[in-house]
Amino acid sequence: MIAFLTTVLIVIFGISIIVCLGCKLTVIYLMFWNEEIFLPIICLVLSPIGIGSAIAFLFGWLDAEKYDCRGVMRIWTVAILVALATGLLAGWLSPDRLARD
């Protein structure tokens, strides 16, 4: 039963990560659409090391009115929280960890 629950949590985690990626790309697109040049390029260049995603998230919330992306930012925030919660729960409930305890 625990293995099944862990698998479900991992699937939910994966879906939330895909949603996060879609939201990040949407925010970067909206930055370009609003004639920002430097900021979205920095976000794309720094994305492989994670800093670009954080910058896009921060400026997405700071300029949500300007980019008209408040709904996207809410979805992105919820997706991050879901990914964090399911990732922690899946790690805590993993069969390997439970076998060691």
pLDDT digits (tens, 9 = 90+) for 25-74: 999 999 999 988 999 999 999 999 989 999 999 999 999 999 999 999 99
Total domain count, the chain: 1
The tokens for 73 are 């930012």
9-23, 39-53, 85-99 — which is least confidently predicted? 85-99
Q: Which pLDDT does position 98 carry in this prediction?
A: 56
101 in a structural domain: no
Let me know if residue 90 belongs to a domain.
yes
Q: Which domain holds residue 50?
A: 19-94
Does a structural domain hold residue 6?
no
Mean pLDDT, the chain, whole residue set: 92
Token pair of 19 as six digits:
């949603």
Quick check: is 2 in a domain? no
